[in-house]
Amino acid sequence: MIDLLIPGLCLLACLVSLVLLRRRGAKPFDYGLQLAIWLSAWMLWQPPAIIPAERNISIDSKQLASSYPLNLTGVERISLNGKPLSRDKLRDLAPVRLELSKIQESDGRWELDWQRQIILGDSLKLKVHNNQPLTENVQISLLNPYGHIEDSIELKVGEVIQTQLTATPKLAGLQLYRVRIDSKAETTHTNPLPILVREPLQPKVLLWLTRPSFETAALSRWLRQSGVAAQIMTQLAPEVIRTEALNGLPLSKPADLLASASPFDLLILDSRLWPQFSPQQRQQLNELSTKKSLLWLVSSDSSEGFIQYSAFQSMPLQAGDSPPGSAGFGYQKADNPQAPLLRHLGFNVTEPGFTDFLLGNKEKPIFWGRSHQGQHLGFILFSDSYRWLTSGFAAEFSSLWKSIVDYQLKHLGRQQPVTLSNKLPRTQERLTLCSPLFSQQSPRLLASQNSFPPLSGIAAGSNSQGQCYSFWPQGSGWHQLQAKAEGESVLDFYIFAQGDWPLWQQSLNTTETRQMATARLGPIADNRASKVALERRWPTLILLLLVCISWWRERRLLHRSLS
C-alpha cells in the first residue's frame, strides 16, 4: 500500500503546485523548478539505480566479520584481506567469488584430536600435530581437572609437532582437562580439554536353551568366568525349566523375559525354542530386537517358522546345498591356524546390509550380526567352538565370543546420534545440530550455568544426518541438549570461549576459508552493466538546493511586487 501512497502524494502535490503557478501566470522556469522539486522528493523515498556497480572489490576480513550489513549489489568478486574467517562468517554472503591472494595464512596447520567421551579406566589420548617446523622451544603439558600435570613433552626448534599426551581419568562424569603451551615468544596459554567419562557397562545376559550340550556348557562356563551377570534357563520340557543365576544376578520370572521391560540387555536364545513360544511371545520377539539385543543359537534342524521369522526381520537365512558341518566350509583362526576349524551349519546369508558384521566366509559366515538404531539382531551359525577349549585354545574361544557379544552390545552407553557442525563450537557463533531425533520435536539447549536461559533451536533444513537446528550459545562451558516434550538429555557437549585454542582456530579458519573459496563459483555471468541505487544524501542535497532556489525566486518576485 505504501508503495503506491508515496508516489501518489508526490504526484498530487506536484499537480497542485502547477495549478497554483498557472493562476499566477508563472514562467516556464517556475514550472520546471516545481517538477524538479517533487521529482527529488520522490527520489529521496526511492533512489534510482543509476550508478555503475563495482564488480571487483577488496574487503578487510574484520569488516566482513562485523554485524554491519554490506551492500554487495553487482559485486562478482571479493578480494579478502587480513585473517581467514570461519565458514559461519562466509556462507551467508551473496553469491560472490572469493579471492584469497591477500589472506594471512596461519603458522602451520594445527590439528588436534581426542576422545570426547571415554569409559572410566580407559586412557585419554590427545594427539597434536603441526606441519610447520617450530621456530622456538615449546613445552606442551596435559593438566587434570585439579591443575596437576599428567603428561608433558618439550619440543625443540626445527621439530615438527606430532605427539600424543595421555592421562587416565579417575572419576566419572563431565571432566575438564586443560592443555598448557609454554614458549618464550608468547604468553603461556591454557586451553580447555573437555571429556565425558562414563561408568563401565555392566550388561545382563539371558541364555535360554532347549537342551544342554557341549557347546552350551562351554558358553555357560565362559559367562561365569567373565563375571557377567547372567541367567541360564534350560527348557527340559514345556512346563519344566531349570534356572541358574550367575555372578549375583537375582532370578527373573519367565513371564517377564521377553517383555519390553525385560531386565536383560542381551538375550541368547536357542532357535529350537521357536515352536514352543506362544503367539504373544513371538510378537514380543519381533519388537524386542528394537530395544534389546537378540542373539540366536541357530540349530541345523531349525523349524520353518524360525526361518520365516528371520526373513520377516530382513535377515533371511536359507538352507544351503552343503550338509551341516561339511569340511572346507567354516572359520579358521587367522592368527593361530593350529586351532580347529569351526564348521558352519550350512545356512546361506542373503541380502546382508552394508554395515552388517559377517564373521568368516562372506557367503557362508559363522556369525551374522546387525546392530543399528532400529535393530540389534544376530545369528550364531556354528556349534562346535567348545573344541577350542578341549584342544587348549581357551584364549581364542574367549576372544571369539567376546567379539560377538561386544558387537551385539555396542549400542549400549552411546549417546543419541547427534551431529555437530563445528569441531570447535564457540560462544556467540552459530552451532548447527542434526539428528533423526529432531523429526518430531525441536530441541532446546541448556547451559550448565543458570545465568544463561535455555535456547530454543531454529529450524535449519535437513540432510543425511536428519533434521537440523541452529543455536547461538552466549556462554562457554558444558551444555546439555534436551528434547522439548520429554526433557530428556540427548547430548552433553562443551562450548568454548572465543579466546580458546587460538592456534587451532586460525588453522580451522584457514581450512574453512579455502573450502568456501572453492565452493563459491560466483554469480551467473551477465554482460549488462549492473547498477546500484543512488545514495540518499544526493537526492537530499538536490532537494535542498532546489528549495533554496525556489525560496530565492519567490523572494525576488515578492520584492518586485512591493516596489
Cell digits of residue 87: 565458514
Q: Return the residue matching grid coordinates 534342524.
A: 301
- The Cα–Cα gap between 356 and 31 comes to 86
pLDDT tens profile 542-559: 778 877 877 777 776 666
DSSP code of 274?
Answer: G
pLDDT tens profile 327-381: 445 666 656 778 888 887 888 888 788 888 888 877 788 899 998 877 889 999 9
List the chain domain ranges: 2-48+535-562, 53-106+506-531, 110-200, 204-408, 425-495
SS3 call for 163: strand
Side-chain-side CA neighbours of residue 110 (13 Å)? 17
Q: What is the pLDDT of residue 269?
A: 93
- The Cα–Cα gap between 234 and 14 comes to 102
Q: What is the pLDDT of residue 306?
A: 92
pLDDT tens profile 307-327: 999 989 889 888 776 555 454
Nearest to 276 by CA among 256, 302, 297, 294: 302
Q: What is the pLDDT of residue 457?
A: 85
pLDDT tens profile 181-204: 887 766 677 999 999 998 877 888
Contact indicator for 128, 191 with CB cutoff of 8 Å = no
pLDDT above 90 for 496: yes
pLDDT tens profile 242-259: 888 888 788 777 667 888
pTM: 0.62
Q: What is the pLDDT of residue 527?
A: 43
- The Cα–Cα gap between 439 and 418 comes to 12
* Strand 97-103 to 77-82 pairing: parallel
Residues in Cβ contact with 396 at an 8 Å cutoff, skipping those fewer than 6 apart:
333, 336, 339, 388
Contact indicator for 147, 180 with CB cutoff of 8 Å = no
* Alpha helices (H) along 289-393: 304-312, 386-390
**Residue 539 or residue 269, greater confidence:** 269
Cell digits of residue 466: 536428519
Would you place residue 168 in the very low, low, confident or very high pLDDT band (cuts 50, 70, 90)?
very high
Q: What is the pLDDT of residue 327?
A: 45
SS3 call for 562: helix
Of the CATH numbers 3.90.660, 3.30.60, 3.30.450, 3.40.50, which one belongs to the domain with range 204-408? 3.40.50
In CATH terms, are 110-200 and 425-495 the same topology? yes
Span 390-400, average pLDDT: 88
Q: What is the pLDDT of residue 497?
A: 93
Q: What is the pLDDT of residue 391?
A: 87
**Complete edge-to-edge strand list for the sheet that includes strand 240-246:** 240-246, 229-237, 204-209, 266-270, 293-297, 375-380, 365-372, 357-360
**Complete edge-to-edge strand list for the sheet that includes strand 97-103:** 56-60, 77-82, 97-103
Span 438-450, average pLDDT: 76
CATH architecture of 110-200: Sandwich (2.60)
**Residue 231 or residue 529, greater confidence:** 231
Side-chain-side CA neighbours of residue 502 (13 Å)? 10
Q: Return the residue matching grid coordinates 541380502.
A: 351
Span 456-474, average pLDDT: 85
CA distances from 224 to 246, 362, 382 (A): 6, 32, 21
Residues in Cβ contact with 522 at an 8 Å cutoff, skipping those fewer than 6 apart:
76, 77, 95, 96, 97
Q: State what percent of residues in the chain have pLDDT above 90.
A: 13
Long-range own/partner contacts, residues 152-157 (CB < 8 A, 24 or more apart): 157/133
**Residue 439 or residue 157, greater confidence:** 157
pLDDT tens profile 49-96: 665 555 666 677 777 766 666 666 667 677 777 788 787 777 777 677
> From the CA atom positions of the chain, what is the Rg in Å?
37
pLDDT tens profile 146-158: 999 999 988 888 7
Average pLDDT, the chain: 80
Q: In CATH terms, is domain 425-495 a member of 2.60.40.10?
A: yes
SS3 call for 516: helix
Partnered with residue 343 across adjacent β-strands are 330
Q: What is the pLDDT of residue 270?
A: 92
pLDDT above 70 for 537: yes
Instruction: Give the helix/strand (H/E) hosting 155.
Output: strand 149-155
pLDDT tens profile 22-32: 666 666 777 67
Span 440-455, average pLDDT: 78
Residues in Cβ contact with 359 at an 8 Å cutoff, skipping those fewer than 6 apart:
331, 365, 366, 367, 368, 369, 403, 404
